[in-house]
A and B are shown apart, each in its own frame.
Chain A
Amino acid sequence: MTDASMDTADAPRGKISLTAADARTKHRNAAEKRFQMYGLAAIGTGIFFLVVLLWAILANGLTAFQQTFIEVPVYLDEAKLDKNGNRDIEDIKKVSTFGYQPLIQQAILAQVQDEGFDTPLEDAKDMKALISASAAAQLRDYVIANPDRIGQTIDFRILASSRVDGYFKGRVKRDDLARDKNIDAEHLDLVDQMRRAGLIQKSFNTEFIFGADASESRPEQAGLGVSMLGSFFMMLVVLALSLPIGVAASIYLEEFAPQNRWTDLIEVNISNLAAVPSIVFGILGLAVFIQFMHLPQSAPLVGGLVLTLMTLPTIIISTRASLKSVPPSIRDAALGVGASKMQAVFHHVLPLAMPGILTGTIIGLAQALGETAPLLLIGMVGYIATNYPDGIAEGFMSPNSAMPAQIYEWAKRADPAYYERAWGGIIILLVFLLTMNIIAIILRRRFERRW
């Protein structure tokens, strides 16, 4: 047999070596190499995408944490702000922000002239392009809070307009000015001179983290603070409902449920619900909570309820996994010393499974925190909220936004200054998610137990 097969081999005898590969082996080895390279390339591409994504977020968003401010001494003219001169707060309140605007513009013009800047802009109205529309409101609030300062000159630190801010950050370029109605090259020349004199500066933007959303024309003033609060109240609802309900449901299914059609139905249902598109939950919330139950639209309570229904399957699935990982010997031991089934579960199994349950819950909450689509349907979008809610009940019931919905709202607005806010908002959102995930990992590491 072996001889016969040897004879049929027509390869040249004597030249065969195991170390020198023939053409076919070379081909096969090359195919092997190529295949391996494809795999590496795929992983490389995946990680490349991740890096690009993170880079885009950081490069575009970090600038939102800095804002350009103008420092200017403003003379609070008594003749304009308090005509009667009696410091009556009601009289002072009658002066609208339009009354304050000229004061700021004149103050800046005076400053420009004092410093002797070389600029063709000589009218106070020309300074309007430099300052934010919110500056007048800032001044008015100050005067109403301190009516006795009328007639004095006070140093203010006011927001620069979004164009000046963009010029500082490189978003507004001189080449594009021809298409821009809001600012001219003369303004930018003046800004350069003011920057050299230290009158305009960039500094950390606390207003972006703690402030409220602003109107379309004032991107420099917009902040994420109020929608953060909305997200916080929503997460409270989700946590308060989904943790107990999810744990109770898992305990029943894992420890008590008989194997019958009803529990089978529940199980299939839960795994299906985990894969239902999130927007369908938004439709559910709209139809049930708002149309049918007439709960207030845009309220964090409704948002929280919708997100609870959405996160429940996730929490149930992970809780069941961690209940399953507690060995039967624990249950047997508890039953052996005379505990009832309920006591065995609640006094022994549940505490041991708790770290796993908490990890799953935190991950479910993180998912809910980043969810946007269902919130759009129940109207939790930015522009409704302008101010902080007062009180706990207000926090749940009054219209508010949530972080991702606010980011979406900014991304929809046409002004590029808002894109910077959207990226910045994403940084804050990701910091929250990262923190939650790290807590979950630490919990898992710290309490991980191998039986």
Chain B
Amino acid sequence: MSIETPRWPGGARMAVVVTIDFNDIHDIVAREPSTEGREKTLSVWRYGARRGVDRVLDVLDKHQVRASWFVPGRVAEEHRGLVGQIHAAGHELASNGYRCEIFDKLDLAQQQEAFRRGHGAVAEAVGEAPVGFRSASGNWAPGFADTLRAAGIRWSSSWRGDDLPYFHEPLAAPRLVELPLHYELEDEPYFAFNLYPPVPPGQSRIASYRDVLDNWRQDFAGFRRYGLCYLLRLHPEMIGTTGRIALLDELLGELRGQSDNWFTTGREVADWWAGTQPPNAPGHPVEIFARHIAELPS
């Protein structure tokens, strides 16, 4: 079976998208409600706004990389200055609920409400409506894709299932493009840590920084071999420490050194994909999923 070779613009071999989840404390509070009110614990995550965002911005600027930043509405309200700086530096601002709600626990109407409130707050903070969206937990209810489309969202980076972009069902215009995730391209599975309450739940050791960089390099080599879309998902409080920011610096330096990598934002990949690529092939994970959802008893 042959491997599809996508053609990226300008003869690029692959696409590289850096995404940053700037969630402050809201993601950890949503996931681990027992963290609420525990200031030492929360300060682990507050480090992003205090120190990490600046470091990440500096490294992105050094390598002339524009990233896509997902910001929940509450963060746009509470950190208006920082969010404005991110926007002013030329990065894409994208949407992520109001308080990083775990959509799995909400029905469709509640998901729509969280999205609208979050989307509105980010739009107000930066003066333009985001066209990208990420569901913090990766999930949403059937029908939610229509909500996103109706609100002008053109791309999501929430689901998995591929290493190229694909279209969400239904395929009605305007198409909603998914830029799928891979855990090994996220910093959180390697670096998140808190003593009590324990994060991660088994309180495993913080990974070797050197090994993580090596893994990301090797993942990159594989994505490049097959001409895919390499999408990092980073958190300013994790990658933006004084010791770890050098990993991003080193990685971006190497990747920027190859002139045929298309460094771009989620929005630009999505627009290119929607404008040039045929519908998903039959049997695509997203199509199988939609087919089974439609057959389920309501």
Is the A/B pair a real complex? no
